[in-house]
Structure 1
Amino acid sequence: MNRCLECEINTKQRACPLCHQLLSTTDLPKEERAYPAYDQKRFKVKDRLAKFAVFGGILATIICLLVNIIVMPRFLWVFYVAVAVFYLLVSLNHTILSPSHLGGKIIAQVVSLTFLLLVIDAMTGSLQWSVDYVMPLIILAGIVLICMLIIKVRMKWTGYISFLLMMIGLGYLPLILYFTGVSHVLWPAVSAASLGTVSFILMLLIANESFMTQLMRRFHL
């Protein structure tokens, strides 16, 4: 039994299955590896960068809060900084550095960017352009992106079903906000909801059996 001191694991292989460091004096050919290549150093760099970004973001927000309270306590502009830092951290840690599914990255971008613009709109004294235009158009863009990815990957399209359903569900949110009186412009809300509905119907028509099977798996039917 060989032991890798770097990864702290025991293995019968002549090389570590994680970092591929040679554990015996005999060289190990690539084709004999029992596991796919794993770049441990790259993972550690990404992990440290993600932690450093979170620490830096929190520190910057705290400093801005103190400056805001001391210099301009009547106007809390620190909230602009906080939501901007939040969006940057989501973009860096989840979208750029994370190995997460591409569909999940699109969902995270849609939600975080919408949240950022909603807060900015609310801080300016209103809540109109964000709910009237920005929210439905960002959701619409997210649906388009996921549909394009499904068309591109083809054989692996089932991995995007959950994310497409989530985006379709979000597509009806602007319409709900319009009918509840929160938003006042109809066409962006109708566009997002319509595209979501069309996408769902097309999936039923084009990949009827496979789509329904994946749908039942997702909802445990």
Structure 2
Amino acid sequence: MKKCSNCGVSVYSTNTKCPLCQRSLSDVDTTAEKNWYPLYTVAETRQPNRLLSRLTAFIAIAVISICAFTNFFATPDTLWCLYVIACVLYGWLLIRHTFLSKVHLGQKIIVQVLGLTGILLILNMLEGGSRWSVNYIFPFLIIGATFLITVIVIIKKMLWKEFVGFIIALILLGFLPLILYVIGISQILWAAATSELYAFLTFAGMIIFSDKGFKNEMLRRFHF
């Protein structure tokens, strides 16, 4: 770029004369950058602690391997390592997905309900006897998780839009214990019915006490 010292105009051309006054043009250094906006520092985003996550996975694998090795060679008559494996897997899930993960709180709650139910179901199957995991634990875990998310939405009203999908998912899960009772997997009717009743009352309360925005969001989620 060239500039005329007499007229003050800038010329983007290979000509050596000013088109206005015909005087000689002087070269202008354009390498220096102009700051049109105020400088600001870019905040560094915090990355998940991958080292701690990998360390947790390694410890879980090591504990499972050592326990299985000891069980098979020292006491092969009793498979006590299966109890340890179930507990270690849940501990890994708890640390990896709940404490180290950056996923939504609602997703963490649902994953914990399913994960804890699965681990307790495995322990129940290993132990034998009554089906306490599906008879009592699963229904009341769903009730507790639904109540927890409901309290969060009531306290922090601005977050209701973020949790509506998780509340609906837990309400649908609340009807699952009764289905398990009907098909013969669960044996305690009152616990399954309590879970269904709480799910129904939660849904009814959402419809009655929620504002128009909440109802519109529910209609949008169900594509009505």
TM superposition score category, shorter chain reference? 0.7 to 0.9
Using the TM superposition, give the Cα deviation of residue 114 of structure 1 relative to its aligned residue in structure 2, in angstroms.
0.9
Using the TM superposition, give the Cα deviation of residue 208 of structure 1 relative to its aligned residue in structure 2, in angstroms.
5.3
Distance 1:68 1:210 in 2: 58
- Give the 3 Å change call, closer, same or farther, for CA 38–196 of structure 1 in structure 2: farther
Count of residues in Structure 1 that have an aligned counterpart in Structure 2: 187
For 1:108, what is the secondary structure of its paired residue? Answer: helix
Q: 2:177 aligns with which of 169, 174, 178?
A: 174
Aligned Cα root-mean-square deviation (Å): 2.0
Contact 1:110–1:142 at 8 Å: present in 2 too? yes
Identity of aligned residues (%): 35
Deviations 1:124-146 (A, max 9, x none): 02351111111111111111101
The equivalent of 1:126 in structure 2 is: 129
The equivalent of 1:88 in structure 2 is: 91
Equivalent residues in 2 for 1:28-43 (5 A)? 32-33=40-41, 37-38=43-44, 40=46, 43=47
Deviations 1:2-38 (A, max 9, x none): xxxxxxxxxxxxxxxxxxxxxxxxxxx9x934x5x33
Structure index of larger Rg? 2
The equivalent of 1:115 in structure 2 is: 118
Deviations 1:86-142 (A, max 9, x none): 111111111112121111111111111111111111100235111111111111111
Equivalent residues in 2 for 1:156-171 (5 A)? 156-171=159-174
Q: 2:61 aligns with which of 58, 64, 69?
A: 58
Distance 1:48 1:174 in 2: 39
Whether 2:112 is the aligned partner of 1:104: answer no
Using the TM superposition, give the Cα deviation of residue 157 of structure 1 relative to its aligned residue in structure 2, in angstroms.
0.6
Unpaired runs of 5+ in structure 2?
Answer: 1-37
Distance 2:52 2:175 in 1: 37
Using the TM superposition, give the Cα deviation of residue 165 of structure 1 relative to its aligned residue in structure 2, in angstroms.
1.1
Whether 2:146 is the aligned partner of 1:138: answer no
TM-score w.r.t. the length of structure 2 is 0.76
Report the residue type matching 2:170 in the other structure: M
Report the residue type matching 1:197 in the other structure: F
Report the residue type matching 2:44 in the other structure: Y
Report the residue type matching 2:196 in the other structure: A
The equivalent of 2:158 in structure 1 is: 155
Distance 2:100 2:138 in 1: 26
Distance 2:44 2:139 in 1: 40
Distance 2:150 2:65 in 1: 40
Using the TM superposition, give the Cα deviation of residue 219 of structure 1 relative to its aligned residue in structure 2, in angstroms.
4.0
The equivalent of 1:17 in structure 2 is: none
Distance 2:219 2:137 in 1: 33
- Give the 3 Å change call, closer, same or farther, for CA 99–71 of structure 1 in structure 2: same
Distance 1:161 1:74 in 2: 50
- Give the 3 Å change call, closer, same or farther, for CA 179–207 of structure 1 in structure 2: same
Contact 1:118–1:127 at 8 Å: present in 2 too? no
Distance 1:139 1:213 in 2: 25
Contact 1:136–1:171 at 8 Å: present in 2 too? yes
